[in-house]
Amino acid sequence: MSPPVSRPRIASLVPSLTELVVELGLLDVLVARTGFCIHPADALRKVPKVGGTKDVNLAKLQALAPTHVLVNVDENRRDTVDAIRAWPNPPQIVVTHPNGPEDNLALVAQMLAQFGANPGTRTDVAERGAALTQALQHELELTQPDEHPPQRVLYLIWREPWMTVARDTYIARMLARIGWHTLPDVRGGESGAARYPALRGDEPWLAEVQQVLLSSEPYRFTAQHQGEARRLCPNARVRLVDGEMLSWYGPRAVAGLRYLREIAAAAAK
């Protein structure tokens, strides 16, 4: 008699990756998610929550006995990963770190390498991955920086203090795909707080900003904050943007690249 097939038990500690797991047809082996993993809502309703991305309930996660834990360099804490690795018979930690829209191709390939040929999962995982890869490639081809007027952009993710993004982050490289270059012109490195610098509010280059983008996450900017942003950058146009579209990777990047082109078209009017 053949031995029983070992089914993976996936815990995703990253909202984008949770959405990717579902897109690939792996919902039936998803055993844990964070409270921020909210898409697709109907599919995830019965999947247990294990805290937030940075404050994981490790005891609850361990009780769910995952075989694989999906994490991200930016979104999860190193001490969380170290604690999971210290468990008896620890699960496999799958570390992700996409830093631009083109990195989604490698991300999908990474997930397929882990789960695409596993006999304990659905037979169409590889096909779903191939379809997503094709859709990503198509949108990347349609989204080229030389087709849009270049802009100097301040992308705000927080207030009190104001916080923005370094140019080597996923968000900044998404915007660069339409020729929009974030200020300040700094790199934050592979990890750490420098990737999301805080502003004093009196930097001389703020007068050079042409577009201020107020994100819907992690701080939920609304129309009431537009006046503050105009005072910060008096020569800029200020607009609210969907942070999920610009910062979530995986399947969301397909719609996100379309959304980028819509933003660029609206700004050109």
List, in order of start, the domains of the chain with CATH numbers. Answer: 10-141 (3.40.50.1980), 145-267 (3.40.50.1980)
Joined together, the tokens standing for residue 22 give 């579902």
Joined together, the tokens standing for residue 102 give 């083109």
Helix/strand/coil percent split, the chain, to 5: 40, 15, 45
Query: What mean pLDDT is predicted for residues 46-57?
Result: 97
Residue 186 contacts residue 193 (beta carbons within 8 Å)? no
Predicted confidence at residue 116, as pLDDT, reads 86
Torsion of CA 39, 44, 47, 51, to 10 degrees: 30
Per-residue pLDDT at 3 exceeds 50? no
The Cα 116–Cα 128 span in angstroms is 9
Q: What is the share, in percent, of the chain residues with pLDDT greater than 70? A: 98
Per-residue pLDDT at 1 exceeds 50? no
| Per-chain mean pLDDT for the chain | 95
Residue 244 contacts residue 212 (beta carbons within 8 Å)? no
The Cα 198–Cα 65 span in angstroms is 39
pLDDT tens per residue, range 192-243: 999 999 999 999 999 999 999 999 999 999 999 999 999 999 999 999 999 9
Report DSSP state, residue 221: -
Predicted TM-score (pTM) of the model is 0.93
Q: Which amino acid is at 76?
A: N
Give the pLDDT band (50/70/90) at residue 262. Answer: very high
Q: Which residue has the tokens 């019965």?
A: 46
Query: What mean pLDDT is predicted for residues 157-179?
Result: 97
The Cα 250–Cα 139 span in angstroms is 13
Per-residue pLDDT at 5 exceeds 80? no
Query: What mean pLDDT is predicted for residues 48-66?
Result: 98
The Cα 37–Cα 51 span in angstroms is 10
92 to each of 19, 57, 71, 72, 153, how far by Cα in Å?
A: 20, 18, 11, 14, 39
